[in-house]
Structure 1
Amino acid sequence: MKSIPISLTCLLALAGCQVMPDRLPQAEPAPAASCYFPTTAEAALETSVDVLTEWGFTLDATDTTLGLISASRERPLHGYYDRYDDSYGHGMRVFGGLGLGRGGSGIGIGFGGIGFAGGVGEQPVEVERVSLLVNDAHVRISRDIRRFDHWGDQRESYSASNDDFCQRFQARFEQSAPVLRSSPL
């Protein structure tokens, strides 16, 4: 009888411990009900673009056949500070490390890369992205916010499809949207 190596036995035992998620990823928190509203606007896509650009968003992508608009805006975060990001001191960032080793017939030494001034003078930013889907006389809004520190590393990300933003968008949309006129028979 063949013997099974202990490493293979451990590997098979660990493979049996893998767990599948019980649900697919979802937006947390769920989008507010006001982020999906009916419209009778004649040019809903154009009106949506007008509202977003009026609010300082820049169009990232549009697809008129699908009725999709994607826009974003960026603002500096003055005073944003991550208290746990001071591990490398001010103005220096280490990308590697120091290693010493001895092989069978030789001795080796290695140094990791050290980056100076990366991120010094850079401003932490908040990026707000909005996607709109306009179809079947309805508008659906999806919004998320991401915050980046002065190194350019993402520190926070969350779904921001809340009542406040969606209700303000809907009110401004309805103020500036031309309404469909029924044709006389």
Structure 2
Amino acid sequence: MKSIPISLTCLLALAGCQVVPDRLPQAEPAPAASCYFPVTHERALEASVEVLTEWGFTLNSTDTTLGLISASRERALHGYYDPYDDAYRYGRGMRLFGGLGIGRGGSGVGFGVGGIGFGGGVGQQPLEVERVSLLVDDAHIRISRDIRRFDHWGDLRESYSASNNDFCQRFQTSFAQTIPATGRPL
């Protein structure tokens, strides 16, 4: 009979200790109460699109049968400090090589360099992408908003739910001011 190595025994023991999450993922922080508000206007979808385009958002997709609007806008983050940039002591904003490896195998020695590149993302800016989704039905509008920040390499560094009271109340105010221009109320 073959013996089982101790490392394999420990691995099998730890595999039995996996924990299943007790809840499904959800937006944190939770959306503000002002992000769900009643509307009594027959052209709420058109007014919502008008407000978003006035604010500089670009429509990504719409589904008028579902009442769904998805829009986004981008802005450059000049001077954005990436808290993870110096995590491995390579220096802030500087990658010397994409990868560097030295190895020895059998009777030879090897040296490899992958993804050669100098500099800190020349010509690229850190970027913030703000996405907004609206669900417009016969009686309510629900707003969902998130913000993602990318460093000068295009790597995602921050992402969070931004369905806060300030944004949603500003949307409600602009929406109410747009209503008279888009048609008559119900």
Q: Using structure 2 for the length normalisation, give the TM-score.
A: 0.86
- Letter matched to residue 133 of structure 1: L
Q: How far off its partner does 1:72 sit?
A: 0.5
Deviation at 1:118, TM superposition (A): 6.1
2:100 to 97, 100, 112: 97
3-state SS of paired residue (2:45): helix
Show the counterpart of 2:59.
59
Q: Deviations over 1:139-162 (max 9, x none)?
A: 000001111111111111111000
Where structure 2 has 5 or more consecutive residues not aligned to the other structure, the ranges are none
- Write out aligned runs for 1:9-158 (5 A): 9-86=9-86, 87-89=89-91, 91-103=94-106, 106-113=107-114, 114-117=116-119, 119-158=121-160
Q: 1:173 to 1:93 in 2, by over 3 A?
A: farther
Alpha-carbon distance change, 93 to 131 in structure 1, aligned in 2, over 3 angstroms? farther
Q: Which residue of 2 aligns with 1:171?
A: 173
1-structure distance, mates of 2:8, 2:84: 40
- RMSD of the TM alignment (CA)? 2.0
Structure 1 segments unaligned to the other structure (5+ residues): none
Aligned-partner residue type, residue 64 of structure 2: T
Helix, strand or coil at the partner of 1:128 = strand
Q: TM-score, normalised by structure 1?
A: 0.87
* Aligned-residue identity in percent: 74
Give the length in aligned residue pairs. 179
- The one-letter code matched in structure 1 to 2:38 is P
Residues 1:180 and 2:185 are matched in the alignment: yes
| Residues in 1 aligned to 2:44 and 2:67: alpha-carbon distance in whole angstroms | 9
How far residue 120 of structure 1 moved from its aligned partner, in angstroms, is 1.4
